[in-house]
Amino acid sequence: MDTAIIIEKSVLIVAVFALTMLMAMYATLAERKVAAWLQDRIGPNRAGKGGILQPLADGLKLFSKEEFLPDTPNKFLFVAGPAISMSVALMTSAVIPWGDKLEIAGRTVIMQATDIDVALLYVFGVLSVGVYGIMIGAWASNNKFSLMSAMRASSQMISYEVAMGLSIIALLMMTGTLSLREIAAQQSGMNWNVFYQPVGFLIFLVCSFAETNRTPFDLAECEAELIGGYHTEYSSMRMGFYLFAEYASMFISSTILAVLYFGAYNYPGMQWAVENWGVNVANIIGFLALFAKLCFFIFFYMWVRWTIPRFRYDQLMRLGWQMLIPLAIANIFVTAICILWSDGNLF
């Protein structure tokens, strides 16, 4: 492996890392702003112009809080919990294709930190590990309510992972690949997967809400029943990590939604742009297009959060097991029939 590749990849990874952190930071501000606007308020507007420095102020506040360690037999796990949550949230971003390729100094640079051909499986694997962050942290807290919250979170995540996986299978049958890069490339033009897999998209979307623990599936956090949530015993920056991880994973799951179903970095006229303006310009526009799409999804998450109340726990489980999973399986069958039919193999 030559140095150029190492440098290229390091730069990419750092850029992606910085982007994720920045987006997670500003998602906290955006959430508060969107909440305020939807409720006819103005929202935080004192720190910096229009509240632009609010995330820094929040971070500073968390940093300056006392780092409290409860009387727990598992100090190591207590510290490991938020770390796992955070690193898992960040790890997923490694396989996301941010664009097709750039040509810098005669080299073709792929705009993706790493292109593994089981990227989708990797995403799922890492996502499922995310439960451990919550579960371990809550368990090590030595607090019944935290544990109860973690039970809720993990059983919900595991239930919805099934439906999520099944909805993805239909997509895989169509694309025939697990590589996110190829899935992105296949959607060039306006061949966005959402047009071919509307039901799959819907299921995936609902499951993403459950996976990121957001309203209407945010039962893991509940002041009235559980005092706080799985992070009740946490304070200072450890608490901050949990909250931050939630926003980071929201950013990542928005990105995955955009990549899988909304054409990734493709935009109408990309081919024309490549021919007329060159690869670099076309791909930077592509990156911006992806960025716009994922921003929309982040907004969508918030929009839903401030619109509908949460489900009851039994409603949540019924929705997952009795509606989404059968629907996802039906979707697989319909997709299979359609594929056979379009190939002319049916009858």
Q: Which residues bind another protein (CB under 8 A)?
A: 34, 37-42, 45, 202, 303-304, 306-308
Nearest to 183 by CA among 261, 94, 123: 261
- As measured in angstroms, the least distance from the Cβ of 49 to another protein is 14
Indicate the residue among 139 and 311 with the shorter CB distance to another protein.
Answer: 311
**Helix 144-175 vs helix 236-261: crossing angle, to nearest 10:** 20
Closest separation between CB of residue 158 and another protein, Å?
22
d(C-alpha 24, C-alpha 29), whole Å: 9
46 vs 342, which CB is nearer to another protein? 46
- Which CB, 51 or 97, lies closer to another protein? 51
Q: Tokens 């730069």 identify what position?
A: 11
Nearer to another protein, 39 or 342 (CB): 39
d(CA 267, CA 190): 7
Nearer to another protein, 108 or 315 (CB): 315
Compare residues 109 and 219 and give the one whose CB is closer to another protein.
219
Tokens of 330: 């039906």
Least distance to another protein from the beta carbon of 260, Å?
20
- Report, in Å, the least distance between residue 310 CB and another protein: 13
Q: Residue 89 CB, nearest distance to another protein (Å)? A: 26
Residue 66, phi-psi category: left (phi > 0), alpha (psi -120 to 50), beta (remainder): beta
Tell me the sheet residues that pair with 109.
Answer: 102
Residue appearing with tokens 């190591």: 76
Minimum Å gap between C-beta 215 and another protein is 11
d(CA 103, CA 109) in angstroms, rounded, equals: 6
**What's 50's DSSP letter?**
G
Report how far residue 8's alpha carbon sits from residue 101's, in angstroms, rounded to the nearest whole number. 12
CA-nearest of 36, 34, 28 to 53 is 28
Q: By the 8 A CB rule, do 92 and 127 touch?
A: yes
Question: What are the start-end ranges of the E strands in 29-175?
Answer: 101-104, 107-110
Helices vs strands, H then E, count in the chain: 14, 2
By beta-carbon proximity to another protein, the closer residue of 304 and 339 is 304
Shortest Å distance, C-beta 307 to another protein: 5
Min separation Cβ 204 and another protein, Å: 14
The neighbour count for residue 37, using CB atoms within 10 Å, is: 13
| Choice between 291 and 306, CB closer to another protein | 306
